[in-house]
Amino acid sequence: MADAAIRVQGARKVYSMLGKPKREAVSDVSITVEPGTIHGLLGPNGAGKTTTLKMLLGLVRPSAGTFEVLGADSTHPSGRRSLGFLPEQPYFPVHLTARQAMRFYGSLAGVDAQGVREQTPKLLARVGLADAERTELSKFSRGMLQRLGIAQALLGDPVVVILDEPASGLDPVGQRDVRSLMLDLRAAGVTVLLSSHQLSEVEAVCDRVTILNRGVVAAEGDINVLLNVDGQSSVRASGMMSLPPRIAELAENVAVPGGVWVFSIPTQATRRVVDTIDEAGGTIIAVAPKRESLEDYFAALLASSDGEAPS
């Protein structure tokens, strides 16, 4: 087993067009995705995410860099045998039924006919299309086509799955289903590389993230480590009519949802705050490192990398 499910090292892509200046879409990107994890790939439009994925998948010839899936060169077809892929905007022959489309894409992926017949009803049911197996794709909604795209990405039981905007076009129920599916895949040992603009989706399921901006890696790491606020702890407590003065002078971002006091404090003051709550007859519900939202972290990081002061 390779030490990395996906490894991109020194990726670079320069587009040359006759009579026009060269355009560097990706300058220097390196990504390591550990086996059995969900790894998020983030970045604003034009950051180089899709180009990097296309180089990894052999769809775009790289100007430089190495690209591996399970230790094999993924720019060659033989290196992508264990890989499933959902493109950002999947297109299907609309005259086919869902079952026929699965047969077609199964044959492209090298899945034998018997395997496709066995897997098709299970996969369509898994993505909520159990009753649409014989329906022509011309009658599918945008969300149904997206679900079909996810089903075809799972044909052949791939060990590594790349999902580019998998929740695009889905309603809230569909988005929840996609999150559950990714967690199920991880539980089964499948590695997922998720590219998404929906930061709440990434924050909910990803173990690690890589954030691109202007063709380079702006940040990478364990999502919990990235989002933890240094020197700050978050406290949840109940059983108090008001915050004791010794806590009020330290507390920030105070809220009282449903009678539960929620606030942040300097980590070094945790013992003092806990003792004060006990003395006031309150109950500590939880004390944990303060964590900012991925949306706030993302916005501040991009502002900083663009030369502006983070808010």
By the 8 A CB rule, do 237 and 273 touch?
A: no
How many Cβ atoms from other residues are within 10 Å of residue 107's Cβ? Answer: 13
Give the CATH class of 6-224.
Answer: alpha beta
Residues of the chain with CATH 3.40.50.300: 6-224
Q: Residue 293: enclosing H or E segment and its boundaries?
A: none
Angle of CA points 187, 191, 197, to nearest 5°: 105
CATH code for the structural domain at 231-290: 3.30.70
Label the pairing between strands 191-195 and 160-164.
parallel
Label the pairing between strands 83-86 and 160-164.
parallel
Q: Among 237, 297, 294, 241, which Cα is nearest to 270's?
A: 237
> Tens digit of pLDDT per residue, the chain (311 long)?
468 999 999 999 998 877 677 889 999 999 999 999 999 999 988 899 999 999 999 999 999 999 999 999 999 999 998 999 999 888 899 999 999 999 999 998 889 999 999 999 999 999 999 999 999 999 999 999 999 999 999 999 999 999 999 988 888 888 899 999 999 999 999 999 999 888 888 988 999 999 999 999 999 999 888 888 888 899 999 999 999 999 999 999 899 998 899 999 999 999 999 999 999 999 999 998 888 888 888 888 888 776 543 33
Nearest-10 crossing angle of helices 98-108, 142-153: 40
Residues of the chain with CATH 3.30.70: 231-290
What's the CA gap between 219 and 217, in Å, rounded? Answer: 6
